Amino acid sequence: MKTIASAVLGMLVAGPALAADPGVTDTTIKIGDVNIMTGPAAFVGRGFSVGSKVAAEEVNAAGGVNGRKIVVITEDDGYVPARSFQALTKLLEVDQIFALNGTSGTANVLAMMPLITEHKLPTVVSQAPAPVVYTPVRPTVFTFGATYENAFYAQLKYIHEKMAKPDAVYGLVRQDDDFGKDIEAGFDRAVKDFNLKAPVRIRFKKGTTNFSAEVAQMKQAGVTVLANGGIFAGAANILSEARKLDMPLIPAEVWSEGIPASAALLAPAGYDYLVGDYVSLNGPANEKFRELAKKYVSEDELKNISRYTYASYIGMKALIEAMRQCGKDLTRACTVEKLRGLKGLDTGGLSAPVDFTNDKQLSGTAVGVYQYDIKSATFKPLTGFVQY
Provide the 3-class DSSP secondary structure of residue 43: helix
Cα–Cα distance, 22 to 353 (Å, whole number): 30
- Which residue spans within 82-235 are E strands per DSSP? 99-103, 123-125, 141-144, 169-175, 197-204, 225-228
- Whether 4 has a pLDDT exceeding 60, the answer reads no
Phi-psi region of 78 (alpha: psi -120 to 50; beta: other; left: phi over 0): left
Cα–Cα distance, 236 to 306 (Å, whole number): 18
Distances from the Cα of 271 to the Cαs of 47, 137, 274, 354, in angstroms?
Answer: 25, 39, 9, 33
**Beta-carbon neighbour count of residue 41 at 10 Å?**
18
Q: What is the mean pLDDT of residues 334-359?
A: 98
Q: Tell me the pairing of strands 169-175 and 368-373.
A: unpaired
Which domains does the chain possess?
Answer: 11-146+283-357 (3.40.50.2300), 148-277+369-381 (3.40.50.2300)
Q: What pLDDT is attached to residue 17?
A: 40
- Whether 6 has a pLDDT exceeding 80, the answer reads no
Q: What is the mean pLDDT of residues 324-350?
A: 98
pTM of the complete model = 0.92
User: Is the separation of the CB atoms in 249 and 271 below 8 Å?
Assistant: yes
Q: What is the mean pLDDT of residues 346-356?
A: 98
Half-sphere exposure of 245 (CA within 13 A, CB side): 22
Sign of the alpha-carbon dihedral angle for 219, 220, 225, 228: negative
Q: What pLDDT is attached to residue 8?
A: 41
Q: What is the mean pLDDT of residues 67-79?
A: 97
Distances from the Cα of 45 to the Cαs of 13, 222, 290, 304, in angstroms?
Answer: 44, 38, 18, 9
Residue 113, C-beta contacts closer than 8 angstroms, at least 6 positions apart: 138, 141
Q: How confident is the model at residue 18 (pLDDT cuts 50, 70, 90)?
A: very low
The mean pLDDT value of the chain amounts to 94
For the chain, give the percent of residues with pLDDT over 70. Answer: 95
pLDDT digits (tens, 9 = 90+) for 281-334: 999 999 999 999 999 999 999 999 999 999 999 999 999 999 999 999 999 999
Q: How confident is the model at residue 2 (pLDDT cuts 50, 70, 90)?
A: very low
Provide the 3-class DSSP secondary structure of residue 180: helix
Q: What pLDDT is attached to residue 164?
A: 98
User: Is the separation of the CB atoms in 102 and 312 below 8 Å?
Assistant: yes
Cα–Cα distance, 82 to 71 (Å, whole number): 25
Q: How confident is the model at residue 206 (pLDDT cuts 50, 70, 90)?
A: confident
Q: How confident is the model at residue 19 (pLDDT cuts 50, 70, 90)?
A: low
Distances from the Cα of 82 to the Cαs of 39, 77, 85, 306, 342, in angstroms?
Answer: 15, 8, 5, 26, 32
Q: What pLDDT is attached to residue 355?
A: 98
Classify burial at 217, counting beta carbons within 10 Å of its beta carbon; exposed 0-12, middle 13-18, buried 19 or more: middle
Q: What is the mean pLDDT of residues 328-347?
A: 98
Phi, psi of 114 (to 5 degrees): -60, -40
Number of residues written out for the chain: 388
